[in-house]
Every structure is written in structure tokens, then in C-alpha cells.
Amino acid sequence: MNVVGSELSQQYRKHFIPLESNPEVFTELLHKLGVSPALEFQDVLSLDDPELLAFLPRPVLALILVFPTTSSYDNKVYEEDAERQPYSASHDDGDVVFFKQTINNACGLYAILHAICNSEARSELGTRTPEARDSIVGRLEHQCSRLGPDEVALLLETDIELERVYVELAQKGDTEAPGNAEDEVDYHYVCFVKSHEDGHLYQLDGDRKCPIQLGAVPANEDVLSDPCLRVIRGMIAQENENANFNLMALVPAGS
């Protein structure tokens, strides 16, 4: 997403081929990044049908929404972010991990990283086992904890192993991948997550200025709760140009 001609226009220093909105592709990347096979992504088939929602394993740790970046959406982002301050580690953000996106077309990767590092999936990382500590995302989380936002962005850009596994997965899926990583695409991924730190719901999008706090989620509820569904339904209702949305959930596997 790029708001042309505005002070909010995102500056990309690197380009990747975008990921297909496919839970199998996202799950394979999730595991290659170092998250346990105990978690996977599944499609959310309905926002309104209780029977279809009931089929999803619980708890839902995070949601990743892919949606069209139309002119109406770009204008809305410009207006909203004009009043926001850029993210910094000193903000009162509930210890939210936020990755500023500087790799074009890699919003799917940033959404996965936001989902891992801000949900209970984070318990799979850190120092629990040597394997977790030495995984791509475990290593990144450890390094990023000591850096500022711009340094974190540069770290992601220059991580050779991260790029290798991403490029491998970007070639997979049911549709042919774009031939040129610098080609602009009309769809964008964002993550919704209930922070494991403060229990609040956040919308995390590396193309925005900062994490967007959407309010508290009841302690006995997960991300697939009314506060989050209202936001997603609102995004869909406001889009008149292209209503082609897709939603994936990070859930326990094999349920």
C-alpha cells in the first residue's frame, strides 16, 4: 500500500514476491520460521454463520486479513495516520512488537511475524529449547528486543535466512507468482492479535505509523470476538470498489 504524494507514502528499500492468501502456504512459512507444528493457519469461512465459526479450533491466537488496497482505503489511512505519532519503543504500547515494513510486497510476512511475536505463539520461542532459540523468528525476536524501529526494519531486510525461506514459499500456491518482485499488487495483509502482554486487541500493519489499539478483549475470549469482528466487518462494509476479502486464523493444529 502506498499513498502517492503524501507524507505517509511508504518508502521501500527491497522487494519481494507477494505470498498467496493460502493457509497451507502461511502454515508452512510459520513452521519454517520456527513455530511449533502445534499451530497452523486455517481459513475463516464466515464472519456471521455461527455453525461455520464453531468449526474453527480455539483459541484463535491471531487473524490475518487480506483485502484490496483501493483509493478509498488509501485515503482513509492517510486521514487516520496524519494524527498519529510514529512508533517508538518508548510509546505506551503495552509492549507490542511492531515491525515497520520496508520490504515491498512482503506484507504477508510482516503479518505472520506480528502474529507470532504478539500472541501466545510467542511462548514457542525464546529460550525454552535450543531449537526455538536458534529458529529464525526466535533469533530475530532476541535481536529485535535490543533495537529501535529503524534498526529492526534493517535487520529484517538483511536477514539472508529469512529471505531464503520466504522466497521459497512465495513460489508456492495455486496461482502463478508474479514474475517481477517490484510489480505493485492490489492486495494487502494486516494482522489482528490479542496481546499476550496486556490483553488488548491490536491491528498491526507495517505500512502504518504504529500499532492501532482497538480496545480490551474479555479475558475469557480470544481474537475471534465481537470487538475484532466489528472492525473487520466495518472494513468490508466501507469498501465499495472491491469487496474481495479473505481471512485466516492462527489456531491449534489437528483439532
Active site residues: 107, 188
Contact 113, 136 (CB under 8 A): no
Q: Specify the 3-state DSSP secondary structure of 170.
A: helix
The three-state DSSP-derived secondary structure of 116-155 is: HHHCHHHHHCCCCCHHHHHCHHHHHHHHHCCCCHHHHHHH
Closest C-alpha to 102, from 14, 212, 222, 209? 14
- The Cα–Cα gap between 18 and 29 comes to 13
**Residue the block writes with cell 505472520:** 112
- Contacts of residues 34-38 at CB distance under 8 Å and 24 or more positions apart, as own/partner, are 34/124, 34/125, 34/131, 34/132, 34/135, 34/136, 34/137, 34/138, 35/116, 35/121, 35/124, 35/125, 35/135, 35/137, 36/124, 37/253, 38/124, 38/252, 38/253
Q: Is the dihedral of CA 38, 110, 240, 222 positive or negative?
A: positive
Say if strands 187-194 and 62-68 run parallel, antiparallel, or are unpaired: antiparallel
- The Cα–Cα gap between 131 and 250 comes to 21
